[in-house]
Chains A and B, each alone.
Chain A
Amino acid sequence: MGYKAKFRVWRGEGGEGRLEDFTVEVNEGEVVLDVIHRLQATQTPDLAVRWNCKAGKCGSCSMEINGKPRLGCMTRMSTFEEDETITVTPLRTFPVIKDLVTDVSFNYQKAREVPSFTPPADVKPGEYRMQQIDVERSQEFRKCIECFMCQNVCHVIRDHEENKPNFSGPRYFIRIAELDMHPYDVADRKEPAQDEHGLGYCNITKCCTEVCPEHIKITDNAIIPMKERVVDRKYDPLVWLGSKIFKRQR
């Protein structure tokens, strides 16, 4: 059942560090986070790793396993060969605090830049009436567990630190889409999406969708529909003309 696995774990503080080799016991049914915990308990008590629920629901234990962003608690050891060396590093897009723990405050900053849900002033709590089909699209985006792996993998900021001020990232594009599609939201989100949150930077190469542990179709269901909604507002002369002629609201 159990075997000894080879692990290479990035260790260091504040960005400076190196990959260290470990040999560690692995038992049936375990995930990468279990092995990291075993390292803590037996070999390196101060190995830093962020984790909470260990059930793929809180999005704390994001790390890069063999170069791919993964949740440590949802990566089963049985997906690797027994003689394979498993490399574990912190998320590459954010500054490192220590070992596998990164400073993700960038994301909280961006969260605050998206205006909150804005219902019409005259609807009181308890008076909301929405059909299931009208909330389903936004519900998909609210499945997000904020593991920030989409933010981490997105090449717009992963490979170009300088884009960070102008680009909110996939997590906040789904937040904007969620609100823009909300039956009761009245705020304008289309122009800000393009002008302030950098929707135009996205070249829909879909890595965010690939890494999403909740399988949210970030690109197809949020980013592209938002791009199309932005086209309605900013780039489509026919829609503009139509709205003038028929005096449609917005």
Chain B
Amino acid sequence: MTQTTAESAVRKQRAQIRVRTLRTDRWWLAPVLTFAGLFLFLIYGFWAMFDLSMLAGSYIAPFSSPCLAAATCPEGARLFGFAPFGDWYKLPPGLLILAFPGGFRFTCYYYRKSYYRSWWMSPPACSVAEPHSKYTGESRLPLILQNVHRYFFYVAAIIGLILTYDAVLSFRDADGNWGHVGLGTVILVVNAVLVLCYTFGCHSCRHITAGRLNHFSRHPLRYKAWTLVSKLNARHQQFAWASMVSIVVADLYVRLVAKGVINFPFA
């Protein structure tokens, strides 16, 4: 406040420009594409949740990994050989798993931006007016719950490691002998790498490694980890999309192999 005493004769109000935006570029394109991309992903995820053909040789479909319930998982697909949920669990297996990576992505700082913009249009693009008359953001319920993101990260980190384990197991053939490399192996490995890059580039992870510290120099190892996470974090959006595409591709591929739709020799 620098001009409190100067009594201005001029009435102070914003420039009265009655258009939503004066932008002349195609500002609507990005939200439309984002909307479509997220929508397709949701549809696929919903279908995959109920699909039971998740195992093809040593490949397991990422959406159904780890297999936690004996009733729905064939032998060998279990988490380190166990079925923690035993026989009593009858619901679709995907439901057990997808809540966690789903929640991780839902509360992810990048995805929040993408769906606030494209689904909720708050705002649809920079300097384009949003259609809502009231706005409180993440300052109260329910959106204040977004702050649980770090807990989803803990679980997502475990799931990322399980997907890596699955990718390692995919180097076995259908009989369990090591040395197999098929197209599925490559797809699962690429997927695991992208998922790890996305998961460990998470803003919460960056905070946990060293972001919360004020003296990097007193914690050289944590600072190193932070530097690495920061590099991944700078590409968080790219990894979010890349891993989302790769996980759908990997999942669909395994299911199509399991269903016998794909059956060429190097599958």
Chains A and B share a contact (CB less than 8 Å): yes
Seen from chain A, the residues whose Cβ lies within 8 Å of a Cβ on chain B are: 10, 12-17, 19, 64, 66-69, 84, 87, 89-90, 92-98, 102-103, 105, 108-109, 112, 131, 133-134, 153, 155-156, 158-161, 163, 180-183, 194, 198, 200-207, 210-211, 219-220, 224-225, 227-232, 234-236
Contacts A134-B215, A201-B136, A207-B127; A67 near B24 (Cβ below 8 A): yes
Question: How many Å lie between the Cα of A159 and that of B133 in the bound state?
Answer: 8
**By the criterion CB–CB under 8 Å, are A89 and B12 in contact?**
no
Known: A93-B14, A133-B216. 18 other contacts (CB 8 A): A10-B15, A66-B22, A66-B25, A67-B21, A67-B22, A69-B127, A89-B17, A90-B15, A102-B15, A112-B1, A158-B129, A161-B14, A200-B144, A201-B138, A203-B122, A204-B112, A220-B236, A231-B149
Residues of B within 8 A of A206 (CB): 113
Check if A205 sits within 8 Å of B127, measured CB to CB. no
Listed stretches B88-96, B174-182, B203-211, B241-249; interface member? B203-211
Chain B residues near A232 (CB-CB < 8 A): 212
Q: Which of A15, A17, A89, A182 has the most CB of B within 10 A?
A: A15
Chain B residues with CB under 8 A of A84: 24
Q: Tell me the dominant secondary structure on chain A's binding face.
A: mixed
B212 touches A211 (CB 8 A): no
B16 to chain A, nearest CB (A): 5
Cα distance A200–B204 when bound, in Å? 16
- Shortest Cβ distance from residue A218 to the other chain B in the assembled complex, whole angstroms: 13
For A203, give its contact among B138, B149, B215 (CB under 8 Å). B138
Per the CB 8 Å criterion, the residue count for chain B at the interface is: 57
Give me 11 A-to-B residue pairs in the complex whose CB atoms sit less than 8 angstroms apart, sorted by A's number: A14-B13, A66-B23, A68-B127, A98-B10, A131-B217, A183-B214, A198-B139, A207-B127, A220-B234, A225-B203, A231-B147
Are A89 and B203 neighbours in the complex by a CB distance under 8 Å? no
Complex interface residues of chain B between 115 and 151 (CB less than 8 A to chain A)? 116-117, 122-123, 126-130, 132, 134-140, 143-144, 147-150
Query: Quick one: CB contact mask for B2-32 with A, threshold 8 Å, 1 for yes?
Result: 1100001011111111000111110000000
B223 at the interface (CB under 8 A from A): yes
Partner of B12, one of A68, A103, A182, A230: A103
Q: How distant is the Cα of A38 from the Cα of B207 in the complex, in angstroms?
A: 50
Asked if B35 lies at the interface with its beta carbon under 8 angstroms from chain A, I say no
Question: Can you name the residue of chain B whose Cβ is closest to the Cβ of A86?
Answer: B24
User: In the complex, what residues of B have CB within 8 A of residue A19's CB?
Assistant: 17
In the assembled complex, the Cα of A69 lies from the Cα of B22 at a distance in Å of: 11
Known: A159-B135, A235-B147. A95 touches B13 (CB 8 A): yes
Select A14's contact among B12, B136, B140, beta carbons within 8 Å.
B12
Say whether B109 faces chain A, with CB atoms less than 8 Å apart.
yes
Docked CA distance A171–B129 (Å): 20
Please tell me if B233 contacts chain A, counting CB pairs below 8 Å.
yes
Q: How far is the CA of A133 from the CA of B220 in the complex (A)?
A: 10
Known: A153-B126, A207-B126, A227-B147. A17 touches B137 (CB 8 A): no
Which residues of the partner chain B approach A156 to less than 8 Å between Cβ atoms?
135, 137
A49 to chain B, nearest CB (A): 14
A97-B10 in contact given A159-B130, A206-B113 (Cβ < 8 Å): yes
**How far, in whole Å, are A229 and B3 apart by their CA atoms in the complex?**
35
Of B3, B11, B17, which is in contact with the most chain A CB atoms at under 10 Å from its CB?
A: B17
Check A155 against B135 for contact (C-beta < 8 Å).
Answer: yes
The distance in angstroms between the C-alpha atoms of A227 and B204, with both chains bound, is: 10
A225 contact set on B, CB distance < 8 A: 203, 206-207, 211
**Distance in angstroms between the alpha carbons of A210 and B126 in the assembled complex:** 8
Residues of A within 8 Å of B1, CB to CB, are 105, 108-109, 112
Q: Which 6 A-B pairs have the closest CB atoms?
A: A200-B139, A67-B22, A15-B13, A67-B23, A207-B126, A228-B207
